[in-house]
Amino acid sequence: IVSFAFETPRRSTARRRHRHRRHRATFQSSTSAPGERSQSSSTSAGGGGASVVVVPPPGEEEGSSPSLSQSAIEDLSTRGYAVVPGFLPRSFVDDLRRDAIALRSDSMFRRAGIGQDSSNALDEGVRVAETCFLGRGRRELSSSTSISSISSISSSSYAGGSGCVRDGPGGLHDVLDGLRESLDSLDPNAPRLDRNLDEVLYAYYPRGGYYRRHRDAVPNSASVLRRYSLLLYLNGEGYDPDVDGGRLRIHLDGGGDECPPGEEPKFVDVDPIGGTLVLFRSDAIPHEVLDTNAERYAVVGWYNRGVSPADIGTLGGAVGGGTNVARAAMLAVGMALVTFGVASILGQ
């Protein structure tokens, strides 16, 4: 069993001063049982061995939009996932969490189904969570509570009216657009990610929440369009994964929704500390949210490839059986693209 630790930009001001430094974290031997982690680690691994470079990029400068470092891009292309602690500055994290809390108190969250399945079924054996789909400029998501609570606007470049921490300049959607551009640079030969098909939501796990092992993109469903999954944790400074649970477990055993028979479990656990970004390949990385002992907030998103004519049979079936309005809307956009813009879909 191996584990590793790197500095995280939480609590200690001494640590915060060093947050722009580059940290190389290397797996070390440890005697802990699978799933146990060292007290100080932000990420720990079970069963495997590898070297991980984590670069907290600058996010605190006024007016700058956090961007993906080259090493995170390399991690993503070589290992299929990247973890970036401190990607978002604390004030931004706090504003987004307040926005999510305000939207939840305005009843804009729904019990979450199992996202990658075309029926989007509710299954408490697999997942206990609530979600609120976010689209740029979705007007019904302009919570009055969320306007007054946004504190980072005065001290940074965010501007605009209600929901501006999402929709305003330098807000969430701008950050996510910037990440999409970085992801597009990963494989210049692959078709562009389709901005019209981005999916973004707030996710809330209550105490007693979880999301059992799954993949975000599975064949024969609309989720097949998902290329990259994104997680941005929004938990407050008091969130302590040793007590509050809710770690993200990234499975590296080569299996799909289950560990292959006879394989040793191999995984990395990520602390859902506010500001941490996780990106991974939606089809290749099974993962789960371990049981939560406290309320847990995150932005969850998917960057999708465009719809190709070959997809239409599969996706048509998915829309027919679907109850997920956002997914159906996404597919409607995709189908409209096929109808009206085949050339652009084929990249010609």
Ligand X SMILES: O=C(O)CCC(=O)C(=O)O
> Is position 199 an interface residue for Fe ion (rule: CB under 5 A)?
no
CB of 63 to ligand X, least distance (A): 29
Q: Which does 172 bind (CB under 5 to 8 A by kind): ligand X, Fe ion, none?
A: none
Q: Which does 90 bind (CB under 5 to 8 A by kind): ligand X, Fe ion, none?
A: none
CB of 132 to ligand X, least distance (A): 12
CB of 286 to Fe ion, least distance (A): 9
Query: Which residues would be at the binding site for ligand X (CB under 6 A)?
Result: 115, 203, 211, 216, 231, 248, 287, 289, 298, 300
DSSP letters along 109-132, please? -EE---TTSTT----TTTEE-EEE
Between 54 and 164, whose beta carbon lies closer to ligand X?
54
Q: Report d(CA 273, CA 53) in Å as an integer.
A: 18
Pairing of strands 51-54, 23-26: antiparallel
The region, left, alpha or beta by phi > 0 then psi within -120 to 50, assigned to residue 86 is: left
Q: Which does 109 bind (CB under 5 to 8 A by kind): ligand X, Fe ion, none?
A: none
Between 75 and 216, whose beta carbon lies closer to Fe ion?
216
Report yes or no: 314 and 284 within 8 Å, Cβ to Cβ: no
Residues 219-248 interacting with Fe ion (rule: CB under 5 A): none
Between 164 and 225, whose beta carbon lies closer to ligand X?
225
Three-state secondary structure of 184-250: HCCCCCCCCECHHHCEEEEEEECCCCEEEEECCCCCCCHHHHEEEEEEEECCCCCCCHHHHECCEEE
206: number of Cβ within 10 Å: 12
- Who contacts 2 (Cβ-Cβ below 8 Å, separation ≥6)? 27, 28, 29, 30, 45, 46, 47, 48, 49
Q: Which of 7, 75, 167, 216 binds Fe ion (CB under 5 A)?
A: 216
In this chain, which stretch among 47-55, 212-220, 322-330, 332-340 interacts with Fe ion, using CB under 5 A?
212-220
- Who contacts 175 (Cβ-Cβ below 8 Å, separation ≥6)? 65, 66, 88
Extract the tokens encoding 262: 């006879």
Please give the backbone phi and psi of residue 30, each rounded to the nearest 5 degrees, phi first.
Answer: -155, 155
Q: Which does 290 bind (CB under 5 to 8 A by kind): Fe ion, ligand X, none?
A: none
Q: Which does 231 bind (CB under 5 to 8 A by kind): Fe ion, ligand X, none?
A: ligand X
CB of 298 to ligand X, least distance (A): 4
Q: Is 148 exposed, middle or buried, given 0-12, 13-18 or 19+ CB atoms closer than 10 A?
A: exposed
Q: Which does 59 bind (CB under 5 to 8 A by kind): ligand X, Fe ion, none?
A: none
Between 85 and 168, whose beta carbon lies closer to ligand X?
85
Residue whose Cβ sits closest to ligand X: 248
What is the per-residue binding string for Fe ion in 71-90, x denoting contact by CB under 5 A? --------------------
In this chain, which stretch among 87-95, 117-125, 126-134, 211-219 interacts with Fe ion, using CB under 5 A?
211-219
Name the residues that contact Fe ion, by CB under 5 A. Answer: 216
